[in-house]
Amino acid sequence: MRHPGRVEPEPVHQGHDAAWWAQFPEASDRFDAALTVEGLGELIDRKIEAPLLRREAKIATDVVVRHLNRPQSEELAAWAHAAAARLTATVERIEERSSGTTSTVEVHALSLALNGDYPAAAAAAEPFVGTTPLLRLFTTALRLERFDIPLALRLLGGGQDPLLAVSSGKLIGSYSWWPSWLLRIVTERALAGTLDETTIVALDNCAYASLSPAQARVARRLLSGEEGLISISAERLEAMGEPDAAQSLREGDLNAVALAARIMPI
């Protein structure tokens, strides 16, 4: 409860370390370094209060981004190295002379990015930039085709590690043609951390089953583990001469769901 006149303490920022952020480049062999540096520059530059220092940081960022977009250019590589080294030296010089009167936290984070340490840069910038903008940047920088970025962001926001969240995003992105009822199921499983390749293959059978809306509702209830319906469906499968499918359904085999849903009376 807030009291008039009382200054409430700021919440402690619970950030992620560099090892956590390093999972993003590991998750894609197409990770876009140029986009990452440019994005970090835009996020960090606006936080640098000293105008001259902000200008120097902006110039250095532009030089490094040009190099990353044309990595084959030896001339740009030399310029980028010099620009990054010059900014790092500027930060060190300010820290030595200012006695803490000038904040170098922001420029230090950008310097890490310009020197190629994107995970460390993200970890250093997260307290003053915020987690959400960085997550959007890093998931976009993955440059993955058929990748469900909104789902990955939901998973990351729910506390999943990047490698798992990106894996789920790739899996679901590859099956965006699935019917909406099945996408809801698979999203729920992804959020619960129970989505894997085996589950996707089994659910794919449901997508190909051409279920009617009523049968789809039955399948959804079966996939949700509704015990009473599973028991009735298994008994019906046995009555139709499908004892193996009935046993599989009772044991939680998702491959039997589509068959069980199709034989249920509507």
DSSP state, 10?
Answer: P
Distance of alpha carbon 200 from alpha carbon 182, whole angstroms: 11
DSSP 208-259: HT---HHHHHHHHHHHTT-HHHHHHHHHHHHHTT-HHHHHHHHTT-THHHHH
Q: Which long-range contacts (CB under 8 A, 24 or more apart) does 219-223 make?
A: 219/181, 219/182, 219/257, 219/258, 219/260, 219/261, 220/181, 220/184, 220/185, 222/249, 222/257, 222/260, 222/261, 223/185, 223/254, 223/257
Q: For the segment 84-143, what is each residue's pLDDT rounded down to a tens digit?
A: 999 999 888 887 776 655 578 999 999 999 999 999 999 999 999 999 999 999 999 999
Boundaries of every domain in the chain: 18-143, 165-263
What pLDDT score was predicted for residue 237?
A: 87
What pLDDT score was predicted for residue 195?
A: 80
Q: Which long-range contacts (CB under 8 A, 24 or more apart) does 31-34 make?
A: 31/141, 31/142, 31/143, 32/140, 32/141, 32/142, 32/143, 33/68, 33/116, 33/118, 33/141, 34/65, 34/68, 34/69
Helix (H, G, I), strand (E, B) or coil at 70: coil
What pLDDT score was predicted for residue 146?
A: 86
Residues of the chain with pLDDT under 70: 1-14, 98-102, 207-210, 264-266
